[in-house]
Amino acid sequence: MVKKLIVTGSSGLIGSEVVTYFDALGWQVYGVDNNMRRDFFGEKGDTRWNQQRLLSTCKNFTHHELDIRDRQGVMAFVEQIKPDMIAHTAAQPSHDLAASRPFDDFDVNAVGTLNLLEAARRHVPEVTFAHMSTNKVYGDRPNTIPMVELETRWDYADAAYADGIDENMSIDQSMHSLFGASKVAGDVLVQEYGRYFNMKTCCLRGGCLTGPNHSGVELHGFLSYLVRCNVEGRPYTIFGYKGKQVRDNIHAYDVARFIEMFYEHPQVGAVFNLGGGRNNSVSILEAFDRAEQLTGKKMQYSYSDQARAGDHICYISNLDHMRESVPGWDITRSLDDIFEEIVAAWHTRLATE
């Protein structure tokens, strides 16, 4: 019997990678996306190109124009499909935008997640539910870790964090931004539906999720947007911390692999810090250098002393829990791979615009 997967946010970076990955495995994949990213970020956030790419390249994929805020629509859709798995990757992903559109942010990130969970509980309680959460659920608490300033990056001064931040970090009594708060609400709901109703759920607290199919914009999509600025020769703005703030980057393919392997090794109410780990970490200044080496173009940038509220100075995910819980999973795409793919993708996309 063919397995069925619902992917929300199917035209986005992670959603489209999950679609492609499971389509290749022979699953019947039902994509849910209403191009809300264009509404949030304007023309440069438009994901219709990615939707068309999926429709033309996948064998077992159908697109469904459904807004996850539409409770009755979500209920009817889940009841009709009766999926074996739901990969919930749809989100409003920007700190700054959440502050200007708080109702939209919360309705998408928290209420949309609740709609999906309740639809699953009512109609397919045995479903495996993987939720793309975020490391922003920790708020600015990672900034309380003692730091050391190096030539091109900040790093942890405390040896206990040499391998990064694990899932035991508190999410309480810190500043999250409204985006972080709405994602906390969705994250806790996913855990609670697991524990309270004994459903197979997991929260994937992503670091910088990246890859060649990202519609990167200034407010969301760190590496994709940075590379695009370099390729097009447009200025990039650094917000605070001397450009030495660090992110760990995980390729969307390795996210999709983990989601498949969680289906094979499900848990109840699980939480994972899903990132690239120390080997895939990079600061903005280091990313400038990598982009310049690949394109031969000098990075144009300006600097603002005003850091974004709640922005992490250094965030590296500790991957031990993921590796122990899901046997055989590990990072397969290096930082070099990621940069090379993103640069090549922007050259191709901009040539056709």
Range of lowest pLDDT (90-94, 125-129, 156-160, 279-283): 90-94
Q: Specify whether the CB–CB gap between 249 and 210 falls below 8 A.
A: yes
Q: Is the pLDDT of residue 205 over 90?
A: yes
Q: Is the pLDDT of residue 137 over 90?
A: yes
Task: From 243, 247, 252, 223, select the one nearest 343 (Cα to Cα).
Answer: 223
Listed in sequence order, the residues at least 6 apart from 43 whose beta carbon sits closer than 8 Å to its beta carbon are none
Domain ranges in the chain? Answer: 4-352
Tokens linked to 177: 């931004």
What pLDDT is attached to residue 336?
Answer: 97
> 268-305: per-residue pLDDT in tens?
999 999 999 999 999 999 999 999 999 999 999 999 99
Q: Specify whether the CB–CB gap between 177 and 143 falls below 8 A.
A: no
CATH 3.40.50.720 fits 4-352, yes or no: yes
Listed in sequence order, the residues at least 6 apart from 45 whose beta carbon sits closer than 8 Å to its beta carbon are 37, 38, 215, 217
Q: Position 152: which residue type?
A: T
pTM: 0.94
What pLDDT is attached to residue 74?
Answer: 98
